[in-house]
Chains A and B, each alone.
Chain A
């Protein structure tokens, strides 16, 4: 069965304190792994797509990496505006299968 597990559920960091979020997955026929950001009361906002092991993508303070079993979202020197829920999803048969998300709080 296709499954996505994210950890930790919640993460509190001080401003400037770097860390990583984990997304482990099992899927038959990966057609892409996606990272989204979600703010309260809004829909998921696309961040990155990764397709093959070893691939990396960067955007500002965020960097996503992919292995055959998991993906990491590294956040470097975060700012309070990076506070959000970060969602990981894998595409299987064109639908997205989602993890429960990691709620990230950055304290000034």
Chain B
């Protein structure tokens, strides 16, 4: 069974540009989560989808971040415009139920110059 996949693995962009990250969860997992780890800090929660609905977006840092999950399958996280402090590793996870184990993808390393 395929695990959580994320694309791209790395992205380097200039400040002010737009970047879109993609996450494909494990097939059949209705719950999808985005997390971020910035340099030297612990992993932080960004938001949680149940199917195509946003269950909890309390961790989204500001309105430059837009997450979507159209059709309840894959999800995208767009950063527009990107700032230097957005650099870090963005992880996606999925789980079968609300209380299920969260399985993580390999992450997307975002560098904003």
Give residues in A with beta carbon < 8 Å to B.
Answer: 4, 31-32, 34, 36, 41-46, 49, 87, 89, 91, 93-101
In angstroms, Cα B104 to Cα A41, docked, is 13
Residues of B with C-beta under 8 A to A99? 42
- Asked if residues A43 and B55 are in contact (CB atoms below 8 Å), the reply is no
B111 within 8 A of A: no
Interface size on B, residues (CB 8 A): 25
The answer on a CB contact under 8 Å between A96 and B42 is no
* Complex contact A43–B105 (CB within 8 A): yes
Do A43 and B104 contact each other (CB < 8 Å), given the known contacts A31-B99, A94-B98? yes
Shortest Cβ gap from A15 to chain B (Å): 28
Binds A, one of B14-22, B43-51, B69-77: B43-51
